[in-house]
Amino acid sequence: MPFKFEKLEVWKLSVEYIDLIYLLAEKLPRSEEFNLKSQIVRAATSIALNIAEGSNSQTDAEQARFLGLGIRSLVETVACQHLIRRRNVGIENDQLDIVYQKAEMLAAKLHAMRKAIAPAQAWLREEKESYVTDEL
């Protein structure tokens, strides 16, 4: 009997996205082994893991929270893609564009699922604080 997450379209899409990220990461230079390569692979893996963990939640709000964590990890991979593009490390822009488009699609699906699970959920936001600086 399959686990609940194995039936979810967003989980399947996240695994396909991880495959793309691994292909991208393999092309990064050795100098990025413990920086961008490690970071983007861990963040991509975190997307699928959060979807799986959240699918076993006891409440819709808890599952929605895990989907939110997955979305954050997805955004982290997109930020890494921007850094890869800026560093011009020999990865074709076409490949980066494809991965970016897949990220946009996965983000839309994750947001839609989270909204469907907990539509009336008041998403928690950190209160905005005014920061005081010692300007001269």
Indicate which CATH number applies to the domain containing 44.
1.20.1440.60
Residue 122 in any domain: the answer is no
Q: What digits encode the pLDDT tens for the residues 40-57? A: 999 999 999 999 999 998
Q: Which amino acid appears at position 92 of this protein? A: E
Residue 136 in any domain: the answer is no
Beta strand segments in the chain, E: none
Cα gap 106→71, rounded to integer Å: 9
Domain range holding 58? 4-117
Q: What digits encode the pLDDT tens for the residues 71-108? A: 999 999 999 999 999 998 888 999 999 999 999 999 99
For residue 47, which of 81, 98, 12 has the smallest C-alpha distance? 12
Cα gap 102→72, rounded to integer Å: 15
Return the pLDDT at 36. Answer: 93
